[in-house]
Structure 1
Amino acid sequence: MQKIKTALLSYGMSGKVFHAPFLDIHSGFELLGSWERSKKLIQVDYPNVKSYATIEELLQDDVDLVIVNTPVGTHYEYAKKVLLAGKHAVVEKAFTTTVAEAEELAAIAKEKGLKLAVFQNRRWDSDFKTVQKIIKDRVLGDLVEAEFHYDRYNPLLSVKAHKETANDGAGIVKDLGPHLIDQAVHLFGSPKSIFGDIRYTRENSLVDDWMDILLIYEDFRVRLKAGFFVREANPAYTIHGKKGSFLKPRGDVQEDELKLGNKPNLEDWGTELETLQGLLHTEIDGKQIREKVPTLQGNYFSFFDGVHDSIVNNKTEPVTAQDGVKVMQIIEAAIASNAQRTVINL
């Protein structure tokens, strides 16, 4: 299998947890190293890789693909440098801070014939994959409404300054929002209009930390909610159709396993506890059923499979730059809606 020489722009939590383990075990990638500004940590975990002192040093190396996993406010600047250097790129969410930035990056990649993917790994969460199958199988009939939650209980401010300092890349709408928005658009397409309600709820918070975004479709509504004062979590996914309902708690185990240092595998990786199975209550062939639904296996490995296939075989990226543009359009519309207290048409 052709190996793609890959480097990271950061080896903090995202590099250590979400990227390096998969690049290390995937036979189609060679992890070259990471740009590390102060702490030199990647060689502790991977002794044979490099620690680059500057992004220029990294881009001058024999690198095929660069993972842009720095703070959101830097994504546009660094991704543009990567693309102009002739390297393929994977950019974490939020893709950029504005629609204009996202569209420019997409245009540069297209002009140069490079692959540009957005790291929306939550498409491969076990809970979301199960929801996706329920909707694809149409066991709920015509859909009426859906509600997606990313609930947490954490009233304390983050110790990471870039997350709590007022800047274009900070806040829950650009942190947890892209996960929920991308999942909704992946399932249902782009909405016709948006209503956004965005708040500051934690003491001394300088960034938005509560969101309620309503996606308005022709005959269907999707509500996306996230906040830090939910001690008793709601279902992560609630879908109601004209024949029935499906309720699924958040249950994907991959992030927790990766944080513990466990290495991904292709056998039982991403297998949820049975106690977190979703509840299906519907009518099929005239018979009413109410039962738990086995959860599909989650696997972020599939994203890296898709990136490899896109570069080596010139296939479409697993999450495209245009997918990233669509998410940014909804984020901008939600922010404008909140400011104007009105519905914004896309």
Structure 2
Amino acid sequence: MAGKTYNVGVIGYGMSAKVFHIPLILVTPQFKLHAIVQRTPKPNDDASKDHPTTKVYHSAPELFADSDIDVIAITTTPDTHFAFTKAALEAGKHVIVEKPFVPTSAEAQQLVEISKRTGKLICVYQNRRWDTDFLTVKKLLDEGTIGRCVEFNTHFDRYKPVRPETWKGTLGMEQAGGVIYDLGTHLIDQAYVLFGLPSAVTAVFSNQRNDGQAEPDSITVILQYPSGGPLVTAKAGVMCVETEQLRYWVRGTNGSFKKFHLDIQEDQLKAGLKPGDKGFGVENEGSSGTLVVLEGDKPKGSTLKNIEPLTYASLYAGFVEAIEGGGEAKVPVKASEARDVLRIIEAARESAKTGKTVAL
């Protein structure tokens, strides 16, 4: 007997919906794209034309009132996430919400409690947990290939001299805007997955563009862990003129791993490819990382290809498993985990403001 199909409603019809969520919904067998909220369709940007068999609403309350919807994907700007997630849960819907989850860890905790009260699940779309290079790094650390990790450097540097006119560049940090909530959320979430909550956070925020804007565009965040743990540095800069951008530099007691280039899934999704297509998530071998391990007392280097990609579709597949009976334990990115990442971000903001290290 075929399993249940869950109707999904999507709030928002910008890049997040079109590139990241709707393609993944369409390749998830148990999910059906049932409705989209697009507030102001345009002749060349009309959800009803792109998805003619899907309902189109012009406000979120219409979606919450649709009794046929089981799951709501929230793809709007982060300042809307708390109100929309709360309303969706209280309307009896499971929720998948774009990162950053909400502006504050206090709001995140409120949603954790509402989720428990309503019995409806929240999954946060931290898709870069399924970057193939990150999973390769995780495998190296889990298997002890480079020994105990002593330093973990994670970068998301680019050359982008013009500030984007979106929440990523103009929405203030109080509303979960800017680089610390955009790229910083990814970098810090990956460190959290590997090492858990740090004991202390030190951060420097800067305006590398020197464009006169108050909102910083670049960050350096240092996470300290108890004795024996790694020193983690997360960096995102916008004036990095390189032919190859550093992504990871991981050092351990028995070796190291260095990787350039970003995971390719985002670019493939933007180009219209989707999980399941031939070559999706598979990086060019020329972009492989370099592994160095001790042989005797001498370091020996080799090229290390990424592991076989699991792809971003794994996040949606995992959420299906949770909804089908796995419960909170099976949610791929729990709201409580996103809350902890927000705690780290809040400590980084305090550190950047005061010039002091902040204990967690």
TM-score by length of structure 1 reads: 0.96
1:19-34 aligned at under 5 Å gives the runs 19-34=21-36
Cα distance in 2 for partners of 1:163, 1:67 equals: 23
Q: What secondary structure is seen at the aligned counterpart in 2 of 1:261?
A: coil
| Paired residue type of 1:192 | S
Cα distance in 2 for partners of 1:234, 1:264 equals: 25
Preserved contact between residue 126 and residue 251 of structure 1 (Cα < 8 Å): no
Q: What secondary structure is seen at the aligned counterpart in 2 of 1:268?
A: coil
Of 227-236 and 98-107, deviating more is 227-236
Q: What secondary structure is seen at the aligned counterpart in 2 of 1:236?
A: strand
Cα distance in 1 for partners of 2:295, 2:55 equals: 57
Query: Displacement, 1:22?
Result: 1.2
Cα distance in 2 for partners of 1:59, 1:190 equals: 35
| Paired residue type of 1:212 | T
Of 158-167 and 111-120, deviating more is 158-167
Of 35-44 and 82-91, deviating more is 35-44
Query: Displacement, 1:113?
Result: 1.0
| Paired residue type of 2:160 | N
Equivalent residue number for residue 13 of structure 1:
15
Equivalent residue number for residue 82 of structure 2:
76
Cα distance in 1 for partners of 2:4, 2:75 equals: 24
Query: Displacement, 1:110?
Result: 1.0
* Aligned partner (choices 219, 227, 237) of residue 227 of structure 1: 237
Equivalent residue number for residue 48 of structure 1:
53
Cα distance in 1 for partners of 2:5, 2:258 equals: 41
Deviations 1:181-237 (A, max 9, x none): 110000111111101111122213342211000000013200000011112154201
| Paired residue type of 1:180 | L
1:96-115 aligned at under 5 Å gives the runs 96-115=102-121
Identity of aligned residues (%): 35
Equivalent residue number for residue 208 of structure 1:
216
Q: C-alpha root-mean-square deviation of aligned residues, in Å?
A: 1.6
Cα distance in 1 for partners of 2:308, 2:250 equals: 20
* Aligned partner (choices 343, 347, 352) of residue 329 of structure 1: 343
Cα distance in 2 for partners of 1:137, 1:185 equals: 18
Q: Does residue 127 of structure 2 align to residue 121 of structure 1? A: yes
Q: Check 1:319–1:30 CA distance in 2 against 1; reply closer, same or farther (3 A cut).
A: same
* Aligned partner (choices 249, 257, 263) of residue 268 of structure 2: 257
1:59-208 aligned at under 5 Å gives the runs 59-61=64-66, 62-160=68-166, 163-166=169-172, 168-202=175-209, 203-208=211-216
Cα distance in 1 for partners of 2:303, 2:348 equals: 35
Preserved contact between residue 6 and residue 65 of structure 1 (Cα < 8 Å): yes
Equivalent residue number for residue 283 of structure 1:
294
| Paired residue type of 1:77 | A
- In structure 2, the gaps of 5 or more residues are none
The number of aligned residues is: 346
Of 25-34 and 299-308, deviating more is 25-34
Q: What secondary structure is seen at the aligned counterpart in 2 of 1:311?
A: helix
Preserved contact between residue 82 and residue 102 of structure 2 (Cα < 8 Å): yes
Deviations 1:144-172 (A, max 9, x none): 11100011110102133674143522110
* Aligned partner (choices 298, 323, 326) of residue 311 of structure 1: 323
| Paired residue type of 1:323 | E
Cα distance in 2 for partners of 1:305, 1:161 equals: 29
Query: Displacement, 1:43?
Result: 2.6
Q: What secondary structure is seen at the aligned counterpart in 1 of 2:97?
A: strand
Cα distance in 2 for partners of 1:266, 1:285 equals: 43
Of 307-316 and 263-272, deviating more is 263-272
TM-score by length of structure 2 reads: 0.92
Cα distance in 2 for partners of 1:322, 1:189 equals: 12
- In structure 1, the gaps of 5 or more residues are none
Deviations 1:312-337 (A, max 9, x none): 12342000011101110000000011
Cα distance in 2 for partners of 1:329, 1:165 equals: 19
Of 268-277 and 35-44, deviating more is 35-44
* Aligned partner (choices 301, 309, 322) of residue 313 of structure 2: 301
* Aligned partner (choices 275, 280, 284) of residue 269 of structure 1: 280
Cα distance in 2 for partners of 1:68, 1:207 equals: 25
Q: Check 1:240–1:329 CA distance in 2 against 1; reply closer, same or farther (3 A cut).
A: same
Q: What secondary structure is seen at the aligned counterpart in 1 of 2:281?
A: coil
Q: What secondary structure is seen at the aligned counterpart in 2 of 1:30?
A: strand
Cα distance in 1 for partners of 2:290, 2:146 equals: 12
